[in-house]
Amino acid sequence: MLFHTWVFVLFFLIVYPIYLALKGTRFRLYWLLAISYFFYACFNPLYLILITYSSVLDYTVVAIMSKRGRRKIWLSISIINNLVLLGFFKYAGFITDNLNALLSSLNVSYVLPAPGIFLPVGLSFYVFQSMSYTIDYYRGNVERQTSLIRYATFVSLFPRLLAGPIERAKNLLPQLKKKPVVSIQDVSDGLSLFIVGLFKKVALADYLALYVDKIYSTPDRFQSLALILATFLFCWQIYFDFSGYTDMARGIARMMGFRLMLNFNNPYLATSLGEFWSRWHISLSSWFKDYVYIPLGGNRKGKFNTYKNMFLTMVISGLWHGAAWTFIIWGAVHALGRFCTRELEATSFYKEKVPRIIKQMFVFVFVTFAWIFFRAESIGDAWIIITRIFTSGFADPRCPVLALALIFTVWLYQFAYESRLRWLLELRAVRIGIMILMVLYLALFAPSSQQPFIYLQF
């Protein structure tokens, strides 16, 4: 039951009025939990075992810590449990494949059986969210949650269950604790966010996917221009796909009186890689910063250790995205990019003399290049794409002009949004006009086939 399907609309039309009727009563949390679990069970009822287990364990660990003191052993139990869950369901296949490759290279004939485990949708997101609660409690940053129902709702709240944003306890739990106020503006804000997200996902991401999938499925059949354009389109596809999902999630939550954090803030306008990560998947970037980078030492122990910590954080972040070497390399490439640009960005020449647009283009080109590893089916494919970009000819790429026009329109909008021209975009007539155009475009032009969200696989 994905947000951009009629089934979800039907689901929401049924559950929402009941939620509004119950929001002032003590039954609201029961209802929220019930519909969140139902929503999740629609993917596979067995998933409920996992999410319930994860919620109950972390709730219990914190309850024990509150009685017996904030001891590391309890925190370790929570962290190890969450990482084992993630490791088992997400990385078992990857580990087995790599061990088999190692055994084969050592001429050992034994082959480990494939575990055949499927990754429950949303696991990476809610495990991180739940883990952040125990860590924050251990650090004294949040209060203990006394209600198991409320805590289970915090972990499973359906708008953000599948792919985030990875909320922090200090943001979402207080909202769950108080009776939500749903104003008319909340409903219209939520609708605005939802429609923008729907447009990004259905009209843009799913459209760009048609070209990207064609090229990336057989990269050896295409030449330089087609590969460059497919990579350029993927760069936007993944942004529209994920930020579209987030907009819809935030819109739905807002209609229910909850404020979920901003997850994307026009990342392709970043002027440095550091800034890019403060604009892209903000909830995950800040999670890694708070729970991995800083505990590793952050930038407190000299340049070497700073880079080492940065490298480790980026590689782990890559691994979080998927159990494949391509994701690890993607993380490593970003880490290397950060090393190089950090020094450059510190120079007064770069700060003062290089125009903003050049910095933005530089970051954009680098990030786009790194996406090759993220999107390629294998390292072999990534290598083929990179070598063919530089060595093959410039045959007609047959890339739809309409797709490029749409991308540049959005890009231009974003530039205007962050410029002095923003007042123009804030005009009521312009906002209404844009909304009408988006819905019209959706109604007339949107692809008829529905694609799942890219980030659901993570």
Partner 1 sequence: MERKDITGIRDSYAGKSKVTVPYGSNCVRLSLADLIIVAVILLAIFSLTPVLWERAEKLEPSLDYRIPYDLSSDYWLYERYCRLACSRYETLIVGDSVVWGHFVSKDNTLSHHLNDLAGTTQFANLGADGTHPAALEGLLKYYGKDISDKSVILHLNPLWMTSLRHDLQTEKEHRFNHPKLVPQFMPKIPCYKASFPNRISTVVNRDVPFMNFRSHLNITSFQSMDIPAWTIEHPYENPLGAVTFHLPASDDYERPKDAPRPGRGPGQTALQWVELETSLQWLFFRRSVELLRKRNNRVFVLVGPFNEHMFDADSIDTYRKMQVEIETWLRRNNVLYYMPETLPVHLYVDSSHPLGKGYAEIAKQLLENASFKSNILSSDGSAAD
Q: Which residues bind partner 1 (CB under 8 A)?
A: 1, 5-7, 10, 170-171, 174-175, 178, 181, 183-185, 187-189, 191-193, 195-196, 206-207, 210-211, 214, 247, 250, 259-262, 264-266, 398-403, 413-414, 417, 422, 425-426, 428, 430-432, 434-436, 438-440, 443-450
Nearer to partner 1, 43 or 369 (CB): 43
Q: What angle do CA 359, 361, 365 make, to 5 degrees?
A: 120
Cα 295 to Cα 209, 287, 291, 453: the distances in Å are 38, 11, 6, 32
> What is the nearest approach in angstroms of partner 1 to the Cβ of residue 168?
8
Nearer to partner 1, 53 or 413 (CB): 413
Contact, 291 vs 135, CB < 8 A?
yes
> What is the nearest approach in angstroms of partner 1 to the Cβ of residue 101?
37
Tokens matching residue 390: 């530089």
Residue 251: name the closest of 177, 200, 178 by CA: 200
> What is the nearest approach in angstroms of partner 1 to the Cβ of residue 275?
14
> What is the nearest approach in angstroms of partner 1 to the Cβ of residue 240?
13
Tokens matching residue 78: 């929570």
What's the rounded Cα separation, in Å, for the pair 131 and 54? Answer: 9
Q: For residue 116, give the 3-state DSSP assignment.
A: coil
Nearer to partner 1, 100 or 192 (CB): 192
Nearer to partner 1, 189 or 345 (CB): 189
Tokens matching residue 126: 């809610």
Residue 16: name the closest of 257, 304, 234, 303 by CA: 257
Cα 43 to Cα 180, 196, 369, 430: the distances in Å are 28, 25, 34, 39
Tokens matching residue 18: 């009941």
What's the rounded Cα separation, in Å, for the pair 93 and 109? Answer: 19
Nearer to partner 1, 84 or 425 (CB): 425
Nearer to partner 1, 81 or 246 (CB): 246
Nearer to partner 1, 262 or 386 (CB): 262
Residue 78: name the closest of 95, 103, 61, 98 by CA: 61
Contact, 134 vs 58, CB < 8 A?
yes
Is 281 one of the annotated active-site residues of the chain? no
Residue 399: name the closest of 150, 272, 215, 160 by CA: 215
Residue reference for tokens 């060595």: 391
> What is the nearest approach in angstroms of partner 1 to the Cβ of residue 20?
15
> What is the nearest approach in angstroms of partner 1 to the Cβ of residue 26?
19
What's the rounded Cα separation, in Å, for the pair 439 and 405? Answer: 18
| Residue of 4, 281, 321, 334 with catalytic role | 321
> What is the nearest approach in angstroms of partner 1 to the Cβ of residue 2?
8
- Catalytic residues, by residue number, are 321
